[in-house]
Amino acid sequence: MISDSPISERRLRAAAAARAYLEKKISWDTFMEKFSDSTDERIQELVDLIEHEPKIGGFLGVNAVEWSRYQSTLAEVITLLESS
């Protein structure tokens, strides 16, 4: 956690890191290492979504509609972080 920067700056960093993770530019471990201990509720929501990313299809996986809902929720949280 970066404690000496303003909340909005941390949120922007978290959003950028989430985008980098989704684009496979950083690993899940790298994202979690930087943001999993954040006390910011919105960042915690993002961490929770990434931590519990559902598997697509197969046994215990989600269908296309549920995956689309997950992706929409994730995009919404990233956008909220970028706009705060």
Range of 52's domain? 7-83
Read off the pLDDT of residues 1-45 as tens digits, 9 standing for 90 and up: 444 456 699 999 999 999 999 999 999 999 999 999 999 999 999
pTM equals 0.85
| 48 in any annotated domain | yes
pLDDT of residue 59: 85
Read off the pLDDT of residues 51-66 as tens digits, 9 standing for 90 and up: 999 998 888 889 999 9
Q: Which residues pair with 62 in a beta bridge?
A: 56
| 1 in any annotated domain | no
Q: State how many domains the chain has.
A: 1
pLDDT of residue 3: 47
pLDDT of residue 1: 44
| Residues 14 and 44 sit within 8 Å (Cβ to Cβ) | no
Question: 15-51: buried (b, 16+ CB within 10 Å) or exposed (e) per residue?
Answer: bebbeebbeeebeeeebeebbeebebebbbbbbebbe
